[in-house]
Amino acid sequence: MLYAHEVILNELAQGLRPVADGVEWFEGLSDDDQRKALHTLVLFCEQARAREDDVAESIARSGIRPTHTPAVMLTKWRFGMDRLPAYDLTKSFRLLVALFSIADTRRRTLHCVGGCGHEWHNLSDQPQDPP
């Protein structure tokens, strides 16, 4: 069974929930919960087998500048965004959602194309609740 925040993060990655809604949800969390969400996103990126060559597209999709600290960190393949100052957390969230989306889409295309039993890949079969 997935936790509510895991469902939201997977819905964002799969395009089942608009990124703007995800950002609004994220910004409504406490500082501690934002940092936990970023940590979870890093784990999801690892599980989905994100690659360093996904970084440029992630930065472009996220809408943040390549010179912002989270983007610079990612180009160096560093994932400690949950330890950044509060003003960088939303940028980190946008960037990691984009990276997760790219990696998860590739994973679903390569390994789950005929369907799979992964609960997180079958979210479109479940009713959606607002964030």
Could you read off the pLDDT of 12-63 as tens digits, one per residue? 999 999 999 999 999 999 999 999 999 999 999 999 999 999 999 999 999 9
Q: Which residue has the higher pLDDT, 80 or 130?
A: 80
Question: Is the predicted pLDDT of residue 117 greater than 60, yes or no?
Answer: no
Is pTM beyond 0.95 here? no
Cα 85 from Cα 49, distance rounded (Å) = 27
Who contacts 42 (Cβ-Cβ below 8 Å, separation ≥6)? 79, 81, 82, 96
Could you read off the pLDDT of 100-110 as tens digits, one per residue? 999 999 987 87
Question: Is the predicted pLDDT of residue 124 greater than 80, yes or no?
Answer: no
Measured in degrees and rounded to the nearest 5, phi and psi for residue 86 equal -55, -35
Specify if 98 maps to a domain: yes
Q: Provide the percentage of residues in the chain whose pLDDT is more than 70.
A: 83
In this structure, what token pair is assigned to residue 58? Answer: 């992630």
pLDDT of residue 4: 87
Specify if 131 maps to a domain: no
pLDDT of residue 126: 47
Specify if 109 maps to a domain: yes
Q: Please state the domain count of the chain.
A: 1
- What domain range includes position 24? 4-125
Mean pLDDT value of segment 68-95: 96
Q: Which of 75, 47, 45, 48 is nearest to 59 (CA)?
A: 75
Query: DSSP labels for 44-110?
Result: HHHHTT--GGGHHHHHHHHT--TTSHHHHHHHTT--GGGGS-GGGHHHHHHHHHHHHHHHHHHHHHH
Specify if 50 maps to a domain: yes
Specify if 25 maps to a domain: yes
Specify if 93 maps to a domain: yes
Specify if 130 maps to a domain: no
